[in-house]
Amino acid sequence: MGEPSELDQKFDSLRFNQVPLTTFDTLPDDILVGIFGFLNLRDQTRLAACCSRFHSINQSKVAKKLDAVVAFWGERHQYVNTYESYMALKKARCWNRQPTDDYELTIDESFFAHGQTNTLEIKVKPNHDRPYLLLSHLFKTLQYASLDIYFADSERNNALLFRSLISGRKLKDCSLTIKFGRAMFEDIGSTRELLLELPTMKCLQLNWVYWGINSDSLETEVITDGILLYLVDHSTEELIVGEGDCSLQGLLHVHHKLIVSECKHVEVTVRREVAQEFVQKIMRHSYETVQVHQGKLSQHEGNGIAMSRLIITKRQYDINYEFL
């Protein structure tokens, strides 16, 4: 027989020499952290409970993956649904019945370091600065796919909290819902400025009650031609807003923007005569790329002006690849 080949020699060395097996105890930390990062929080907890090596991983290096993070801040009590939120607020002495000094209201931001959640839901009722000071720091590094936020008032501290929740994040694939329980007339200008700061996002929905005081016009509404056009340009999928002071010319600009932009669906409530004229004008031109429907009829809450819901949708075409 001839000399053994190089491949045979390597095979023999593997057969006759003891090769150490790879186990959890021999894996480096960065690989374990990578494995942990693919799991949700419940599976991470279970694995850490049955494997001492996983239990010893520095948790600050591992991304916490949560289904939903919910925080409620009322006048008399606060509620959170996650252990991280509870421990952070407890450490900041937020559960004390007695007044707390401001210097004690310090949030440990490490509780949500590298954290991710499908939904971040926040409801704030009081109109003071404590929710802003605490929640803005608590969720500073938390990444979310959907933000649902409710403010009882449209005052300054709530706007600051909202800005902190959207800053430093990539929101192009995120959905955002903003609700105002009471919207004050003097806050209309600042709210418009806030909307013009919104980055590009997937879906945006705005809800609020009436802003003005028995006006004969809709000049007090937050949504104007310019605001609506900006929001359409910064929504890649869907934009749903309430009543707006929109003109026929402004709606035509929105219609054209919908044709050339990524946005596929827009809903807004405008004066009934404006909605009817807009629909008739679009129907006369027989646009094929965008469908327009006149929806539910209503009356403006403040002054009884006849209103109508407009639903503007970009048609989706199926591509036949056999002819490409």
Per residue in 212-239, pLDDT tens?
A: 554 555 667 789 999 999 999 999 999 9
Q: Is 80 exceeded by the pLDDT of residue 256?
A: yes
- Judged on CB neighbours under 10 Å (0-12, 13-18, 19+), 44 is buried
Q: Is 80 exceeded by the pLDDT of residue 321?
A: no
Q: Is 60 exceeded by the pLDDT of residue 129?
A: yes
- Position 287 scores a pLDDT of 61
Nearest Cα neighbor of 206 from 193, 220, 223 is 223
47 three-state secondary structure: helix
Query: Which single residue is written with the structure tokens 């929001």?
Result: 231
Q: Is 90 exceeded by the pLDDT of residue 293?
A: no
Cα separation values, 150 from 61, 121, 176, 250, 302, Å: 32, 8, 11, 29, 22
Res. 253 pLDDT band, cuts 50 70 90: very high
Q: Is 80 exceeded by the pLDDT of residue 58?
A: no
**119-128, 156-165, 262-271, 283-292: segment of lowest average pLDDT:** 283-292
End-to-end CA gap in the chain: 61
Instruction: Considering only residues 210 and 175, tell me which one the structure prediction assigns the higher pLDDT.
Output: 175
- Position 99 scores a pLDDT of 47
Nearest Cα neighbor of 95 from 140, 130, 139, 141 is 130
Q: Is 90 exceeded by the pLDDT of residue 300?
A: no
101 three-state secondary structure: coil
- Position 323 scores a pLDDT of 30
Q: Is 50 exceeded by the pLDDT of residue 307?
A: yes
Per residue in 59-87, pLDDT tens?
A: 555 567 788 999 998 877 788 888 778 88
> Residue 130 has which token pair?
């404590």
- How much is the CA Rg of the chain, to the nearest whole Å? 28
The continuous run of DSSP H or E covering 72 comes out as strand 65-73
d(CA 67, CA 109): 20
Query: Which single residue is written with the structure tokens 């105890």?
Result: 25
223 three-state secondary structure: strand
d(CA 272, CA 78): 43
For residues 218 and 271, is the Cβ–Cβ distance under 8 A?
yes
Beta-bridge partner residues of 135:
none
Instruction: Considering only residues 70 and 289, tell me which one the structure prediction assigns the higher pLDDT.
Output: 70
Instruction: Considering only residues 38 and 203, tell me which one the structure prediction assigns the higher pLDDT.
Output: 203
69 CB-near residues (< 8 Å, 6+ apart) = 80, 81, 82, 85, 117, 119, 120, 121, 139, 142, 144
Q: Is 80 exceeded by the pLDDT of residue 158?
A: yes
Instruction: Considering only residues 107 and 245, tell me which one the structure prediction assigns the higher pLDDT.
Output: 245
- Position 171 scores a pLDDT of 92
**13-22, 40-49, 258-267, 311-320: segment of lowest average pLDDT:** 13-22
Beta-bridge partner residues of 146:
119, 175
Residue 63: CB atoms within 10 A of its CB come to 16
